[in-house]
Every structure is written in C-alpha cells, then in structure tokens.
Amino acid sequence: MIRGMHPERGHYSAENCSIQAALDIVGEKWTLLVVREAFFGVRRFADFQRLLGCARNILSARLKTLVDAGILSLSPYREPGSRARYEYRLTEKGRDLYPIVVSLMQWGDRWGERPDGAPLQLTHRDCGQAVEVQLRCAADHGPLSVRDVQARAGAGAKAA
Amino acid sequence: MIRGMHPERGHYSAENCSIQAALDIVGEKWTLLVVREAFFGVRRFADFQRLLGCARNILSARLKTLVDAGILSLSPYREPGSRARYEYRLTEKGRDLYPIVVSLMQWGDRWGERPDGAPLQLTHRDCGQAVEVQLRCAADHGPLSVRDVQARAGAGAKAA
C-alpha cells in the first residue's frame, strides 16, 4: 500500500470513507477520552468530570454526542433522598471502539517519551500475558504490517 | 474492565495517558485523513489537496504538524523546469499508525450505514484473505474482546 501511489486512488471518492465516518463521531479528543473512562467502568457525570477535569458544558456536549451516536446508553438510577439521575453505559457499538482506544494507547506507549514505562498495562484475564492490537488475516497469518496489506476498492466504493 | 468501575482508577493520574498523548498529535480529523492518504501512497501537496479537498492553509498546517511530530519526513524532488519541491513520506513512526487507521475503518464499516458494502477492502498480499485488527495476547490467544482484558497500573503510572 505504501509502494508508490495506489493506482486506483484517484478513481474513487473519499466521501463515504469509513475512517472519516468514524472520525466524524469520535474524531474529537474529549469524545474518545470520555470513552476511555467508560472502559474503566466510569458511569456517572460527576465521576467523568472529576477524572477528566473538563468543563461541565463540554462534558455534557460530548456525552450527548455519544448517546446520540448510540455509543453510550442512558440508564436511570436514584440515590436515597436524591432525584433520579442517569448513568452512561457503553453499548455494543461503544464496546466495539476498544481496538481503536487500545491501538492509540499502543502507539502512544511506543512513541511517547516513557522513561518510566507505560502508565497502563493490559493483560489477558485468563493467562496473564500482555495484550496488543495486531493485524491478522482471515487465514490467521500475522501479525501483519502495512507492507503485507493490499487495498482495493470494495463493493461500496463510489466513483470520484 | 467494564464490570463495574476499575477499583484503582481514582488513584492514578490521567496526565501521562498514552491515549491522550496519541490524540494530542493525531486527534484531529484532518490530521488522520492526511495520514490515510499517505497510506495510499500520496506524497505531494497538490495530490493531498485534490484528494482531500481541504483548504491550502489547513493542509499546510496539518502537514507541518505531522512533520514536526516525526510522522512524515520531507524528501526533495525537482520536476524539469520547476523549482525544488518536497514530498511527504511516512516514517516508521508514521507507518506504525496503521492499526489506528484500520481500526477506525473497521468500526466505520461495521457501524456506518453501508447498504452497498465497504468502500475499501484490505487483504493479505500473500494469501488474499481479508485483513482485520484483532486483540491478541503474547501467548497468541484471541481474538480477545474487552471483557477478556484486565487493566492495571503500569510501571509508569503516576499517582493522582
């Protein structure tokens, strides 16, 4: 894919690109940081705010974006003596963002200045070994690098 | 990781988070779209501009961000009768963004409205089978889901 320009690139539109579609939803720093906290099990507005340290209005807007996109769902709860409030929980669509979050983390770990080592360790619950994101093919060859991968127009490609 | 809030979450700072470090560099839509085109083999300013359709000043700023971050390198070329210009090429640090780009694409393919199928197909050059991003552990168990993964503070964790 990086051996000279893709011969077909100019023939197709980037208008319906899935990368762009994903970035339209999660391509804003605070949005993915909210998702990061949700993967840590954070569910309540006050906890998101305390951990992220972002302004209430920004947090409200990002939570709304994520609920509207079907990434977080609202689930009511009531503490004794308080009015009903809502918790935010990852949906299946939200949990499916995990490889994106882990691949960002992996790159940040590898290329950031980390003299003390990575701040977070992910391990396989069953065997305790380190977890990473890899490229694999359906015949289970891998891990693959970009040089092993061929890109071509799919069924949903649109002419430029 | 999503079975109730991570017990240690509040004890550690998010200040040196690798996800945030990655987003500080690539967490802007146009930046990753420039990288997407670079993976298609695009190298020249005019080609980036034509394919992305973004304003010259935005493109210049994003290319500068990517060069300053060591994701793209500058390489001079000269066409007959023209002054010397520069091509932008992915460095190793840049090529290492590939799993992020593919995981975004995979999520967009899966959750976007794609009645006609995915616009782009990635296959393993050697065997022709479809390529995807998976979570694997060092003992090669997988593909893993978020529920299989345990997160704990790493060596570089900072107290909150």
Residue A19 CB contacts under 8 Å (≥ 6 apart), including other chains = B32, B33, B36, B101, B104, B105, B108
Weakly modelled stretches of chain A, pLDDT under 50: 1-4
Size of interface A-B (CB pairs under 8 A): 343
Q: Which of B104, B85, B84 is nearest to B35 (CA)?
A: B104
Q: How many CB atoms lie within 10 A of CB B44?
A: 14
Output the pLDDT for position A90. 96
Per the CB < 8 A criterion, the answer to whether A43 and A85 are in contact is no
Output the pLDDT for position B137. 96
Output the pLDDT for position B73. 97
Output the pLDDT for position A7. 54
- Mean pLDDT for back-to-back runs of 10 residues, chain B (160 residues): 55 77 80 91 93 91 94 93 92 95 92 84 95 96 93 84
Sort out which chain A residues have CB atoms less than 8 A from B32's CB and list them.
19, 23, 27
Q: Which chain B residue has the Cα nearest residue A123?
A: B150
Secondary element (H or E) of residue B149: strand B149-153
Output the pLDDT for position A160. 74
How wide is the angle at C-alpha A96 spanned by C-alphas A92 and A101, nearest 5°?
Answer: 135
Output the pLDDT for position A4. 46
Q: Which chain A residue has the Cα nearest residue B137?
A: A131
B130 to A137: CB separation less than 8 angstroms, yes or no: yes
ipTM over 0.85: yes
Q: What is the pTM of this model?
A: 0.90
Structure tokens at A28: 């804003």
A132 to B116: CB separation less than 8 angstroms, yes or no: no
- Helices B98-111 and A18-26, packing angle to 10 deg: 90
Burial of residue A15, with CB atoms counted within 10 A of its CB: 0-12 exposed, 13-18 middle, 19 or more buried:
exposed
Structure tokens at A52: 């992220």
Secondary element (H or E) of residue A85: strand A85-90
CA distance A91 to chain B (A): 11
Q: Which residues pair with B95 in a beta bridge?
A: none
Q: How far apart are CA B155 and CA B91, in angstroms?
A: 28
